[in-house]
Amino acid sequence: MFGFPMFDHIPRSFKTQYRCYSVSMLPGQERQDVERGGKIIMPQSALDTLTRLNIVYPMMFKLTNQSTNRMTHCGVLEFVADEGKVYLPHWMMSNMLLEEGDIVHIESANLQVATYSKFQAQSVDFLDITNQKAVLENALRNFACLTTGDVVAINYNDKVYEMLVMETKPANAVSIIECDMNVEFAAPVGYVEPERGLPKPTPVDVAVEIQDDASFKPFSGSGYRLDGKKKKKPQPSEDQCPQVMKRGIPNYDYQKGTLVFIRNSKRNNTNKDEEKIDPFTAFSGKAEALRLKKTRKK
């Protein structure tokens, strides 16, 4: 009597199994876009089934290799594969230990949006990239989700870099479509921290004498006069002879942050025969009157 559909919009799970093959086995032209991402190619019948089940978009799936108990998550790129077959990127088949033609179990998944992820490069060559975060962000645009423990492949400058997904939050499998995710990097495999030891102080011998270069003579160049006449060559004097300079003795009691003023309080009495000067006596001079006194006549 009441025959209206009440439960048509309730999403139901999708579970099936296919024989998996690498993208290189896909008929037609080479599909490098599949190898550079984390999405698979499924048959047309899978799309018809997913449409009837009201699967939540974007479509994400959980792939399981029951023989080795390996699993991962992925998105779907196209529905153009042959019936009964599914095509996976090579790095995904390597993670799940799958060979060409093995059975893989696929079921729909509803993943949480990622907020944090941590990666570890499997080679120190990744440090040669100037901006690692920008390269990783550009490569993750071809991925729909991440799974902790996967080793994803990133292509940059015709070179493949393998990155281990060490950690994801808020779950072990997260969606990275239209999300604001914080990314961190761990030290690459095989990386050795360089030793940063302080340079050893060289011993200083205060008795070492510093001798000037005998070939150097200050102000010995040829000069030019304004009147055009040639300059007379100066005669060598004793002052121009090389002198031997002795290095001063450093103050080993110096404390950082203090200033030391050294004053020489001793006077060198070179002239012992110098006459002693009388001490100064105030108002000891002779007085003179401005006007002479008048003398009385007798």
**pLDDT tens string 183-226:** 999 999 988 888 776 666 666 554 444 454 556 677 777 777 77
Section 68-82 average pLDDT: 92
Q: What is the pTM of this model?
A: 0.61
Section 70-98 average pLDDT: 92
Section 263-285 average pLDDT: 63
> 90 or 208: which carries more pLDDT confidence?
90
The identity of residue 154, as a single letter, is: I
Whole-number pLDDT of residue 100 = 92
Whether the CB-CB separation of 205 and 90 falls below 8 Å is answered with no
Mean per-residue pLDDT of the chain: 80
Whether the CB-CB separation of 65 and 17 falls below 8 Å is answered with no
Whole-number pLDDT of residue 30 = 75
Whole-number pLDDT of residue 241 = 55
Whole-number pLDDT of residue 268 = 57
Whole-number pLDDT of residue 206 = 47
Nearest alpha-carbon partner for 77 in 95, 92, 65: 92
> 277 or 200: which carries more pLDDT confidence?
200
For residue 221, what are its two tokens?
């160049």
> 287 or 172: which carries more pLDDT confidence?
172
Section 157-186 average pLDDT: 92
CA distance 106 to 14: 8
| pLDDT of 148 over the 70 cut | yes
Whether the CB-CB separation of 109 and 62 falls below 8 Å is answered with yes
| pLDDT of 295 over the 80 cut | no
| pLDDT of 141 over the 70 cut | yes
Whether the CB-CB separation of 86 and 79 falls below 8 Å is answered with no
CA distance 178 to 75: 14
The pLDDT tens digits for 58-74 are 899 999 999 999 999 99
CA distance 193 to 204: 33
**Which of 7-11, 71-75, 225-229, 251-255 comes out lowest in average pLDDT?**
7-11
The identity of residue 236, as a single letter, is: P
71's torsion region: left (phi>0), alpha (psi -120 to 50) or beta?
beta
